[in-house]
Amino acid sequence: MSVTEDKDERPAAARTYRVNDVAVAARPIETALYLVATPIGNLGDITLRALETLAAADVLACEDTRVTRVLLDRYGIATRPYAYHEHNADEVGPRLIEALSAGKSVALVSDAGTPLVSDPGYRLGQLAIEAGYRVVPIPGASAPLAALVGSGLSNDTFLFAGFLPTKDKARRDRLEELRQVPGTLIFFDSPHRIGATLSAAADVLGGERRAAVCRELTKTFEEFRRDTLAQLAVDYADRTVKGEIVLVIAPPDPPLPPGEKDVDELLRRLSSDLSVGKAASEAARQTGLPRRDLYQRLIELKDDHAGGR
């Protein structure tokens, strides 16, 4: 790859893209690193802004030139793609920065979805920022978000945790770290590991937790299977699965409020070392109960103790 030496010989008229067989001229774009989201399955999910950026860019870097070429051909884009992936990132990354230093615009795409999400584009983004170049996100398709909104699970707070470790103990240790996260968990998974992942998740997180196995998102055989982790673990134990998978797991149930006796014991213990106000504040932090109520209860306990009752 010689992006700094290669000249983009396309005339301005050739920097076009096609929508419904209509050729559209791409407007020039400034020197910057453009992170362009591409479809995760259905090629119709590309945005007009993404098409214009891909057609206008001087340099187009991608994970697999064959995969990206399918998208470019679909929309009549003549930009030549260069390979940039985890195996050549250390060599190619600096060359892409050199292209920016030469005044070129560089677009980066992954095979599917949004660049930098579980791919080596993160390193390129860091290099560009450190070198003082603009990094411009061109948003679009995202497998984690598509799975989340299709799962039917809570989406006000969520954590995308990428791929779980492949070895069982490391996988279970990681799930234990995430067990009390107060939000929906989202993972990428492979078809030959999903059964083991669901079994581990049911054991560590609790079999009663709701979850969704989201497979082949936006593609012809898109599938959502929604159930408890325990039931999904049974369903996928011996099932042959194909395609890309996103696993979405519901948050843990909120803890039950402590009983009255437990609260009184906590207040007595805290007040032995702290003032009434500080004991009430600490009890409120630990239990989630209103500080005012705890303060009043502690006063009552002290009055009872002073009265000899």
Residue 160 has pLDDT above 70, yes or no: yes
In the block, tokens 């030139």 appear at: 65
Cβ atoms within 10 A of the Cβ of 260, count? 9
Report the mean per-residue pLDDT for the chain. Answer: 91
**What pLDDT is stored for residue 235 in this prediction?**
96
**What pLDDT is stored for residue 8 in this prediction?**
60
Report the b/e string of 25-60 with b at 16+ CB within 10 A: ebeebeebbbbbbbbbbeeebbbeebbbbbbbbbbb
Single pTM value for the model: 0.79
Residue 192 has pLDDT above 90, yes or no: yes
Instruction: With H, G, I as helix, E, B as strand and everything else as coil, classify residue 33.
Output: strand
State both tokens at 214: 């989201």
**What pLDDT is stored for residue 121 in this prediction?**
83
**What pLDDT is stored for residue 243 in this prediction?**
93
Q: What share of the chain is helix, strand, coil (3-state, %, to 5)?
A: 40, 20, 40
Per-domain boundaries in the chain: 12-141, 144-249, 260-306
Reported confidence tier of residue 9, pLDDT bands at 50, 70, 90: low
Dist CA 301 CA 181 (whole Å) = 35
Q: Which of 37-51, 98-112, 278-292 has the lowest mean pLDDT?
A: 278-292
CATH superfamily of 12-141: Tetrapyrrole methylase, N-terminal domain (3.40.1010.10)
Bridge partners, 35 (sequence order): 108, 137
Dist CA 16 CA 53 (whole Å) = 10
Reported confidence tier of residue 14, pLDDT bands at 50, 70, 90: confident
Q: Which long-range contacts (CB under 8 A, 24 or more apart) does 253-259 make?
A: 257/287, 257/288, 257/289, 258/287, 258/289
Residue 26 has pLDDT above 90, yes or no: yes
Q: What is the pLDDT of residues 146-156, one digit of tens each?
A: 999 999 999 99
Percent of the chain with pLDDT over 70: 94
**What pLDDT is stored for residue 59 in this prediction?**
96
CA atoms within 13 A on the CB side of 287: 24
Q: What is the pLDDT of residues 235-256, one digit of tens each?
A: 999 888 999 999 999 999 877 7
Question: Taking a C-beta distance cutoff of 8 angstroms, is the pair 33, 108 a contact?
Answer: yes
Dist CA 135 CA 125 (whole Å) = 7
**What pLDDT is stored for residue 152 in this prediction?**
96
Overall average pLDDT of the 196-214 stretch: 97
Q: Which of 112-116, 209-213, 241-245, 300-304 has the lowest mean pLDDT?
A: 300-304
Task: Kindly indicate whether the domain formed by 144-249 is annotated with CATH number 3.30.950.10.
Answer: yes
**What pLDDT is stored for residue 258 in this prediction?**
82
Residue 113 has pLDDT above 60, yes or no: yes
**What pLDDT is stored for residue 173 in this prediction?**
97
Overall average pLDDT of the 187-208 stretch: 96
Cβ atoms within 10 A of the Cβ of 146, count? 19
Question: Taking a C-beta distance cutoff of 8 angstroms, is the pair 194, 247 a contact?
Answer: yes
